[in-house]
Structure 1
Amino acid sequence: MAMDELLNEHEQGERVRSWLQRNAGSLIGGVAVGIAIIWGWQWWSDRQHGTQMHDAEQYEALIGDANNDPAKLAAGVGKLKADSMYGALARMQLAKAQVDVGKPQDALATLRAIHASDSGLSDVIDVRIGRLLVETGKPADAIALLGKATSPGALEVVGDAQAKQGQAQSAQATYKRALTMLEVGSPERTIVELKLADVGGAPDAAPATNAPVAAAAAQTPAQQPTK
């Protein structure tokens, strides 16, 4: 190795050593901060997991013991945080039980008290509230709640509200929008199709196929005419 290369390596080594001496304190502090962040994240993750497991166990026990009894469910939901997923699910189950025993106003109050942090769950709750509003004679409130929603469930409820108000054409258009998002043959689609028929509408016809072309494509080579 040439002398100038040795000197360059020595010089580089001295520079690294000098830099480490000057920055040792900050390096140690940085490592400590990094370790603290990692430990804090792991502690928070473990705590969240433990809380979710505890909530899940409480939810399962509540649903099993209450046997859809509104009084028992109401007594147990307070043990679950209203803004947690399992707290929201428990209150939704309570609302269903209240509807089953003929107390829709109680069910509305229960659903409105849920503070769902998950947007998907919040949308489901809004749809249930909207459905209850229609059933309790408040279609305009249902439309105000769900008028800007685009999910098929929400559109179905808006269509129900419009039908309740005697707006048959608007209901037809809304039901048809819902149908474009529902799978052919699914139970949900069948229900919306029945509602559409009730307001004098019919599902849009599927695009017609080119029968001669389709038939020719279906023929086997042996069946196709020779030129």
Structure 2
Amino acid sequence: MAELRTEEEQIEAIKNWWKENGRSLLLAIAVAVAAVFGWQGWQKRQDAQATNASITYQELVDSALALRSAPDAGAQRATAEHLSETLKNDYSSSGYAVLGALLMAKVNVDASDLDKALSELVWAEENAQEPEMKQLAQLRIARIKLAQGDAAAARDLLKSANATYFTAAYEELLGDAFVALGDVAQARKAYDSALSVATPQAKAVLQMKRDDLAQGDES
């Protein structure tokens, strides 16, 4: 009988505990299940977004390649611009949007529309998450500025940039800007800096630029 009473007491204790805590436990379980399914849903949406962004970017690449063989094709250009805008508007955080803007900048440079190219590069620089993409956009902005005849703006941008990537290209373009500004001493210094970190393939052109400065001094 004592054992029976003990079992009844245990059952009664469980019942009382369930009355006090059962609802909270069920709620906690429901929240945990919802969180799991919510995370899985978010993951699926992210995967779908990445896939769609990749497909859109590839379509943009195909369109840009088609433009290289027919640069005056108005319909093809409109398609490329539409795809680029889709990446910016719908997939701006994917990384593909920045790549698309960089690509459209090249398309516009090929079409001699430097203002549009500059606009694309500014967008890429402002929205890039990866530092190397940001610095690549800055480098190309400076190149456009120099091509537009604004060597001072190119110089200032390059000098203020923290070029941890593409260092040789930054220094070479800085040297070009100083040459355009007539500052031979600073141009020589920039070319020397570029030569110190450039690849063997790039050193030949850099050395020619450096040697041209020396010949200019002699004349």
**Match in the other structure for 1:117:** 129
| SS of 1:147 mapped into structure 2 | helix
Unaligned runs of 5+ in 2: 1-13, 72-76
Q: Identity over the aligned pairs, expressed in percent?
A: 27
Question: Structure 1 residues 182, 24: closer, same or farther in 2, change over 3 A?
Answer: farther
Q: Secondary structure at the match of 2:87?
A: coil
Choose from 93, 101, 112 the match for 1:102.
Answer: 112
Kindly indicate whether the alpha-carbon contact (under 8 Å) linking 2:59 and 2:83 is maintained by their aligned counterparts in 1: no
Q: Show the counterpart of 2:211.
A: 197
RMSD: 2.9
Partners of 2:194 and 2:22 lie apart in 1 by 65
Check whether the contact 2:168–2:197 (CA below 8 A) recurs between aligned residues: yes
1:90 — aligned with what?
100
Give the number of the structure whose alpha-carbon radius of gyration is greater. 1
| Kept after mapping to 2: 8 A contact 1:172/1:196 | yes
Please give the alpha-carbon distance, in whole angstroms, between the structure 2 residues aligned to 1:33 and 1:25.
12
| Deviation (angstroms), 1:182 | 2.2
- Match for residue 63 of structure 1 among 61, 64, 70: 61
Distance across 2 between alignment mates of 1:197 and 1:38? 65
Equivalent position of 1:208 in the other structure: none
Letter in 1 for 2:130: D
- Deviation of the 1:190 alpha carbon: 2.8
1:135 counterpart (113, 135, 147): 147
* Change in CA separation of 1:99 and 1:36 when aligned onto 2, cut-off 3 Å: same
* Partner in structure 1 of residue 81 of structure 2: 74
Q: Closer, same or farther in 2 for the Cα pair 1:24/1:60, shift >3 Å? A: same
Report matched runs for 1:1-227 at 5 Å.
Answer: 36-66=34-64, 67-68=66-67, 69=71, 70-81=77-88, 83=92, 84-114=94-124, 115-148=127-160, 149-150=162-163, 151-183=167-199, 185=200, 187-200=201-214
Would the aligned equivalents of 1:168 and 1:200 in 2 still touch at CA under 8 Å? no
Could you tell me how far 1:135 is from its partner in structure 2?
1.1
Amino acid at match of 1:157: L
CA distance in 1, matches of 2:133, 2:24: 46
Count of aligned residue pairs for this structure pair? 182
Distance apart, 1:81 and its partner CA: 1.9
Shift of 1:51: 0.8
Greater fraction helix: 2
Q: CA deviation at 1:101?
A: 2.0
